[in-house]
Amino acid sequence: MPAFLSMVGPLIGELDYVELLFGSKGVVLGVVIVLFLFVALTIFVAFYKLIHVSMAQAQSITFLDKFWDSKRLDDIYRVAEKLKYSPIAAMFRAGYVELSKVKKSSTQGGDASMHERMDGAENVERALARARTSEQTKLENLLPFLATTGSAAPFVGLFGTVWGIMEAFSAISSSGKADLAAVSGPIAEALIATALALASAVPAVILYNYFQRRLKVLGAEMQNFGNDFMNIVKRHFF
């Protein structure tokens, strides 16, 4: 074993990882380029979603404070118009606009029947539900990419590694040299694809779970606001 380590040690110390990455050829080089794209896009998505979700949560807190402190819906609406990144403010705007339409139609049509009043409340509730679905879709934008990277990148890297090992053994068979020096270089070039795949897949999975947890909390706040808003609307307008 010491003799083996004395042979492998210098080889490992002489490895140039940049050369391993960019010195690949053919299919392995294509795999490395794809994995680099995965890494770059994962970094971009991470920063983009971090800013987006953080602004959504901060503006939602600001809106909820104003909502519970204010006594007039039109004042709240003016505040909500300024909070473009808050999904809860977007829900309020949709509900307020629909409520205004219902009140206008009820005023123009005289005294409304109980059935018409219930339809009006259901219209407001549907508007809130549509806005919540739309905002959740916006918040979840680009998250499927992180999930895809976390699940697909290891297989892409494994494919590059297997292909590289096949080419390495084919070259060794053609040259007739099977010593450690001849084997270690090509095998290292093949294995770098798997290492790069793990470097992109592991952060992608961690980031996906992190953002899913934050969006789950924000989704619960949106659901609670919708229920509270409908209780206020039914109590005071229907």
pLDDT, tens only, 79-93: 999 999 999 999 999
Residue 17 lies in a domain: no
Residue-level pLDDT at 136: 94
Q: Which of 231, 237, 218 is nearest to 132 (CA)?
A: 218
Residue 19 lies in a domain: no
pLDDT, tens only, 108-161: 555 555 445 557 778 889 999 999 999 999 999 999 999 999 999 999 999 988
Residue 13 lies in a domain: no
d(CA 24, CA 131): 50
Residue 8 above 50 pLDDT? no
* Cβ(160)–Cβ(131) below 8 Å: no
pLDDT, tens only, 177-207: 666 666 666 777 778 888 889 989 999 999 9
Print the domain residue range for 164: 24-237
Residue 216 lies in a domain: yes
Residue 7 lies in a domain: no
Residue 48 lies in a domain: yes
d(CA 76, CA 62): 11
pLDDT, tens only, 100-109: 888 777 665 5
- The DSSP string of the chain is -HHHHHHHHHHHHT--HHHHHHS--HHHHHHHHHHHHHHHHHHHHHHHHHHHHHHHHHHHHHHHHHHHH-S-HHHHHHHHHH-TT-HHHHHHHHHHHHHHHHHHHHHHT-SPPHHHHHHHHHHHHHHHHHHHHHHHHHHTTTHHHHHHHHHHHHHHHHHHHHHHHHHHHHHHHHHT--SHHHHHHHHHHHHHHHHHHHHHHHHHHHHHHHHHHHHHHHHHHHHHHHHHHHHHHHHHH-
Buried residues in 28-48 as b, exposed as e (16+ CB within 10 A): bbebbebbeebbebbeebbee
176: left (phi over 0), alpha (psi -120 to 50) or beta: left
Count of domains forming the chain? 1
Residue 109 lies in a domain: yes
Confidence of residue 9 (pLDDT cuts 50, 70, 90): very low
Residue-level pLDDT at 1: 39
Residue 15 lies in a domain: no
pLDDT, tens only, 151-187: 999 999 999 888 888 877 777 777 666 666 666 667 7
Instruction: Supply 69's token pair.
Output: 């402190």
